Amino acid sequence: MNGYRVLVAVLHKEMLTEWRSRDRVIAMLIFSLLVVVIYHFALPELPSSEVPSTVSGLLWSAYLFAAILGLNRSFSAELENHALTGLAMAPLDRGWIFLGKALANFILLIFIQALTATAFALGFDLDLRSLFLPLAGIFALGAVGITSVGTLFAAIAVRTRNQELLLPLLLLPLLMPILIAATTATRALLLGEPVPGTPVRMLVMADTIFLVLSFICFEYVLDD
């Protein structure tokens, strides 16, 4: 079975399972919308000149913790049904299993990002229509980094007793470059300024490193 067919099979299974249950996407969406509501009432008198700078950080904090919430559940079904053992015994390159899971997590996060950005735009009176394409690019670059290394660590943490605690502890320090770069680029876009090249290059470099290392390391993660 070639790698591409493995990727498609895993992605199809993940999307079908999520479509039937919708437990992860609903939890992630509720969390993100609660963040919007809380910040909307916590910052009612925010000057219009400070809104872009503030919202960029709020957006990425919502994305990050919503992603962690979803990642914590990304391998739970396989653990409950002992499917992790079957995946570990399959005669194939496990990196393609990782790519299928990571792509499914990426799609879910992009969906949450789009809805959350819309909610922030409505809550803080922002017009993001003219910024759709550049914002989508930054959101996608950030999501690739979060979901690639996040999928790897989710597979590691799922077999531990303190999964919900271990995953953020492993993930947050590594994601600091991505969060700083993504927040900086998003802030520049919301302020109507040109996006600096440094944060974009940092995002591309971090995404590439995380994807390659996670693909390679996943070969050993499924072993007991």
Q: What is the pLDDT of residues 146-184, one digit of tens each?
A: 999 999 999 888 877 777 788 889 899 999 999 999 999
Residues of the chain above pLDDT 90, percent: 46
Mean pLDDT within 112-135: 89
Tokens 């990642």: give the residue. Answer: 71
- The DSSP call for residue 195 is P
**What's the domain range around 74?**
3-221
Mean pLDDT within 175-201: 93
The pLDDT of residue 185 is 95
For residue 144, pLDDT over 90 is answered with: yes
33 with 41: CB under 8 angstroms? no
Number of domains in the chain: 1
Closest CA to 40 of 139, 126, 113: 126
The pLDDT of residue 178 is 95
HEC per residue, 51-84:
HHHHHHHHHHHHHHHHHHHHHCCCCHHHHHCCHH
Grade residue 126 by pLDDT with cuts at 50, 70 and 90.
confident
Question: Which residue type sits at 119?
Answer: A
Grade residue 63 by pLDDT with cuts at 50, 70 and 90.
very high
137 with 111: CB under 8 angstroms? no
The pLDDT of residue 96 is 87
52 or 203, which is more confident: 203
The pLDDT of residue 114 is 94
The pLDDT of residue 49 is 66
Residue 15 tokens, joined: 């999307």
The pLDDT of residue 88 is 61
